[in-house]
Chain A
């Protein structure tokens, strides 16, 4: 059974009175297997964030079905197995790192003890142990991204969805993020993330999907997508240009 399964999801937005509706996603079929790292590549405006928003229940598709763990994405309960980090996330800056993790822990009905244990382990894992009592308003962008990852893991999720997790990070931060994603896979978790940084996807993903103008144009292992002697970057550019032509 696929951890994520979408069937023909289409998302249209109204662009104002009298204007043509914009199609952000066009009959997207996707199946993500348990324990794999799946990366969605696509240029800006391809529909990556829309797909993720539908999967985490922030948006409803205009048509089609989207499921995680065999249940509709709008089912609140199914989210207890989900961890999510939004793109350039904004958090409650008046909270300290510990309070912040405790708040999200409470939304999963974790006990005080569980929250305490998970928080201190996660703060250690993301290297923010010494900032536990610091308000988030004093955090740098890299630190915010790390505390964001920590909140996404507070419930020890089976599925982790990350929207552009490497964006805005320096090379060391990106390397750490890649290592973290690989360590999550080693723990048996399924990871679905979007990116427009091809190298990151190439290095860590088991399978890749290329999304352009709301359509999934290619999906599979990297060697299935690339043609002979072609790098993933070259394949990506070729596919995007074929669509634009």
Chain B
């Protein structure tokens, strides 16, 4: 269970970093502040809060996944802390898995605090308008579950890049993957109209190679009470697990062959 020691150490590292708290506090202020924004609308206050809150959870989660994720391994290499760890009887793959698990735990704590903040804001809003405090949308958890899956995937992307490049480049590559991953479905739809066949082919390659992150975005459906089939959650989870396995596998393959 050496990976567990690495995971706990990674968790401690983030928890003792001021940046983590700065980001978290900023996210909570934004979620709580949505109550003020909601006063601009009539009758749809809770929807505005939910919309704004879920978007904040997603944004800050992704920021943490990318910026903490890319530094997972590259910081260990740059700071040479890796030398001591890898000279111990721990396999390189086990070390990578430990780092990954540690960050997933951090993101779970972070996301849980943010959703608690969102529910608190919604309850406060209900109280303010004299509505039953506990009658808040329970399906927010569904949206946050999908956000968390997306974060797990983005962390794996960040981890892969951090095994063979510098922190800055890995952050740029991961951010690009995130942006393309969100528009690739739209690009594919547009590609039907491209006159140049090679461009259409390129878009298809991008679509099938990079993760399709729009699969994880069900915020609109949840806020507007559109039902989602359980099979959708199952399939999307399977997609995430498969993609993550491939990413971590590739990261391990590269990491095992590196000289330090």
Q: A interface vs B, CB < 8 Å?
A: 53, 56-60, 76-80, 82, 84-86, 89-92, 94-95, 99, 103-104, 106-109, 148, 151
Determine if A84 and B89 form an interchain contact, defined as CB atoms under 8 angstroms apart.
Answer: no
- Which one of B13, B80, B84, B91 contacts A104 once the chains associate, using CB atoms below 8 Å? B84
Determine if A80 and B89 form an interchain contact, defined as CB atoms under 8 angstroms apart.
Answer: yes
Determine if B13 and A94 form an interchain contact, defined as CB atoms under 8 angstroms apart.
Answer: yes
Determine if A77 and B260 form an interchain contact, defined as CB atoms under 8 angstroms apart.
Answer: no
Determine if A92 and B13 form an interchain contact, defined as CB atoms under 8 angstroms apart.
Answer: yes
- Selected A-B contacts with CB under 8 Å, 16 pairs: A58-B259, A58-B260, A86-B80, A86-B87, A89-B80, A91-B81, A91-B84, A92-B9, A92-B13, A94-B12, A94-B16, A104-B84, A107-B85, A107-B90, A109-B1, A148-B84
- Which one of A53, A79, A80, A107 contacts B260 once the chains associate, using CB atoms below 8 Å? A53
Question: How far, in whole Å, are A77 and B85 apart by their CA atoms in the complex?
Answer: 14
Q: When A58-B260, A94-B13, A107-B2 are in contact, do A84 and B90 touch as well, CB less than 8 Å?
A: no
Determine if A84 and B84 form an interchain contact, defined as CB atoms under 8 angstroms apart.
Answer: yes
Determine if A90 and B87 form an interchain contact, defined as CB atoms under 8 angstroms apart.
Answer: no
Is B86 among interface residues, defined by CB-CB distance under 8 A? yes
Question: How far, in whole Å, are A207 and B1 apart by their CA atoms in the complex?
Answer: 39
Which 5 residue pairs of A and B lie closest in terms of their CB atoms, listed nearest first? A106-B5, A56-B87, A84-B87, A107-B88, A94-B16
Closest Cβ of chain B to A100, distance in Å, is 10
Determine if A82 and B87 form an interchain contact, defined as CB atoms under 8 angstroms apart.
Answer: yes
Chain A neighbourhood of B9, CB < 8 A: 92, 95, 103
Chain B neighbourhood of A108, CB < 8 A: 88-89
Is B192 among interface residues, defined by CB-CB distance under 8 A? no
Chain B neighbourhood of A58, CB < 8 A: 83, 86-87, 259-260
The proximity string for B residues 65-93 relative to A, scoring 1 for CB distances below 8 Å and 0 otherwise, is 00000000000000111011111111100
Query: Other than the known A53-B259, A79-B89, A84-B87, what 8 A-B pairs have Cβ atoms closer than 8 Å?
Result: A57-B86, A58-B86, A79-B88, A84-B83, A86-B84, A89-B83, A91-B81, A107-B90
Q: Which single residue of chain B is at the shortest CB-CB distance from A154?
A: B88
Chain A neighbourhood of B1, CB < 8 A: 109
Chain B neighbourhood of A85, CB < 8 A: 84
Chain B neighbourhood of A103, CB < 8 A: 5, 9
Is B44 among interface residues, defined by CB-CB distance under 8 A? no
Question: How far, in whole Å, are A37 and B88 apart by their CA atoms in the complex?
Answer: 21
Determine if B84 and A151 form an interchain contact, defined as CB atoms under 8 angstroms apart.
Answer: yes
Q: Which single residue of chain A is at the shortest CB-CB distance from B92?
A: A76
Chain B neighbourhood of A94, CB < 8 A: 12-13, 16-17
The residue in B4, B16, B84, B91 that gathers the most chain A C-beta atoms within 10 A of its C-beta is B84
Closest Cβ of chain B to A71, distance in Å, is 12
Determine if B81 and A107 form an interchain contact, defined as CB atoms under 8 angstroms apart.
Answer: no
Chain A neighbourhood of B16, CB < 8 A: 94
Question: How far, in whole Å, are A78 and B16 apart by their CA atoms in the complex?
Answer: 34
Closest Cβ of chain B to A133, distance in Å, is 14
Closest Cβ of chain B to A159, distance in Å, is 11
Q: Which single residue of chain B is at the shortest CB-CB distance from A106?
A: B5
Chain A neighbourhood of B80, CB < 8 A: 86, 89-90
The proximity string for B residues 1-38 relative to A, scoring 1 for CB distances below 8 Å and 0 otherwise, is 11011100100110011000000000000000000000
Chain A neighbourhood of B81, CB < 8 A: 90-92
Determine if A106 and B2 form an interchain contact, defined as CB atoms under 8 angstroms apart.
Answer: yes
Determine if A76 and B87 form an interchain contact, defined as CB atoms under 8 angstroms apart.
Answer: no
Q: When A86-B83, A89-B83, A90-B81 are in contact, do A59 and B88 touch as well, CB less than 8 Å?
A: no
Question: How far, in whole Å, are A56 and B45 apart by their CA atoms in the complex?
Answer: 61
Question: How far, in whole Å, are A57 and B6 apart by their CA atoms in the complex?
Answer: 19
Chain B neighbourhood of A107, CB < 8 A: 2, 5-6, 85, 88-90
Question: How far, in whole Å, are A85 and B84 apart by their CA atoms in the complex?
Answer: 7
- Which one of A60, A77, A89 contacts B259 once the chains associate, using CB atoms below 8 Å? A60
Question: How far, in whole Å, are A108 and B80 apart by their CA atoms in the complex?
Answer: 20
Chain A neighbourhood of B259, CB < 8 A: 53, 58-60
The proximity string for B residues 129-156 relative to A, scoring 1 for CB distances below 8 Å and 0 otherwise, is 0000000000000000000000000000
Question: How far, in whole Å, are A190 and B148 apart by their CA atoms in the complex?
Answer: 50
The proximity string for B residues 200-222 relative to A, scoring 1 for CB distances below 8 Å and 0 otherwise, is 00000000000000000000000
Chain B neighbourhood of A151, CB < 8 A: 84
Chain A neighbourhood of B5, CB < 8 A: 103, 106-107
Chain B neighbourhood of A59, CB < 8 A: 259-260
Chain A neighbourhood of B12, CB < 8 A: 94-95, 99
